[in-house]
Amino acid sequence: MSTLILTSIFLSAVLCVTLLLMPQQINAARAFYVFGDSLVDSGNNNYLVTTARADSPPYGIDYPTGRATGRFSNGLNLPDVISEQIGSEPTLPILSPELTGEKLLIGANFASAGIGILNDTGIQFLNILRIDRQFELFQEYQERVSEIIGSDKTQQLVNGALVLMTLGGNDFVNNYFIPFSARGRQSSLGEFSQLLISEYKKILKLGARRVMVTGTGPLGCVPAELASSRSANGECAPEAQQAAAIFNPLLNQMLEGLNREIGSDVFVGANAFDMNADFINNPQQFGFVTSKVACCGQGAYNGQGVCTPLSSLCPDRNAYAFWDPFHPTEKAIRLIVQQIMTGSVKYMNPMNLSTIMALDSRI
């Protein structure tokens, strides 16, 4: 075979590999911003005076470093696994001193455990980054980035970003349903859900190209609810389930309405209820031994109190759907992200994240 032919074959192979890699390289350069509560907090509360924290063992027992990081997980959390799937580095907490220089261009995590859509949600946790404060920090973040790449490129970075927004669950479990709650006394579940949606709509003015908004999971099926007086014989607590059943359709309607107003599919609804319900209702099908008992906790279903070094701890986290009384294990999170990436319109409306990345890489 002649040298010319060999060279031609080699160059063709290089071109094919280059073309295959280009979308991933483009996508990996896309900034990722995370807003929300403990389901997506990667450690901001470590830097705050708050009781809502996950910075001591056994949290992080399966994290690559084996140490607690502030993630409410035995290992990686939802934003971590999404970053992994889109070929990006994990976003650092906005309060982390390590978030400097070029790391700012990857994005940032603004989430804070305990917060909700309403500012009076989570007041029992003292100092947390409420959603208004998260957005203030987002503005400060943009100023920091502008010092590195200039204001025009910063605006391009933000406009082309992928955003994850996870709010709503705490407004029920840490506000409406807590004993002697003013919200619970003043309004019905339907009225309260309408209020949440009205306030949420005001929040969703980010200017990003794509914003993934997660609904609430099956609130009544977490171990904390199974261990409460609201549950009968370890069955999902009906009132909390009703809250999710009212809130989630209203959220979907609101997101669809915003997309119609904009004339583009900016907002993507992630059906966290069904994503979680799949393995909660059929744990063995997904390789779990139980979806009722938390891996770390105490009392009935390990659902009472919080996960601490003194808690009962399961030896095999992969056998459990729930890590602590409220939060899924990394294995369960990976199942959720699988649906975020490739799930049908039942799970991701109007499109999944793989489709989003493919479409946006052409722009």
| Rounded Cα–Cα distance for residues 240 and 231 (Å) | 10
For the stretch 32-66, pLDDT in tens is: 999 999 999 999 999 999 999 999 999 999 999 99
Q: What is the dihedral of CA 345, 346, 350, 352, to 10 degrees?
A: -60
Angle separating helix axes 3-28 and 353-360, nearest 10 degrees: 120
To the question of pTM greater than 0.95 for the whole model, the response is no
Catalytic position from the list 80, 171, 265, 324:
324
- The residue ranges of every structural domain in the chain are 27-271
Tokens 């914003």 correspond to what residue? 211
Q: Which of 37, 38, 41, 42 is catalytic?
A: 38
Q: Is 360 one of the catalytic residues?
A: no
107-160 pLDDT, tens digit per residue, is 999 999 999 999 999 999 999 999 999 999 999 999 999 999 999 999 999 999
Closest CA to 249 of 199, 190, 202, 206: 190
From the candidates 42, 171, 193, 327, which is the catalytic residue?
A: 327
- Provide the token pair at 321: 């759907």
27-271 CATH, one of 3.40.50, 1.20.120, 1.10.260, 3.30.300: 3.40.50
- pLDDT value at residue 363: 65
Asked about 229 being catalytic, the answer comes back as no
- Tell me what pLDDT residue 94 has: 98
Give the count of beta carbons closer than 10 Å to the beta carbon of residue 346. Answer: 10
For the chain, list residues with pLDDT below 70. 1-29, 207, 363
Residue with tokens 């450690």: 43
Instruction: Give the per-residue pLDDT at 53.
Output: 96
Q: 321 with 279: CB under 8 angstroms?
A: yes
How much is the pLDDT for 71?
Answer: 98
Q: What pLDDT score was predicted for residue 209?
A: 81
Residues 6+ apart with CB under 8 A from 153: none
Residue 300 · residue 244 · CB < 8 Å = no
Let me know if 112 is a catalytic residue: no
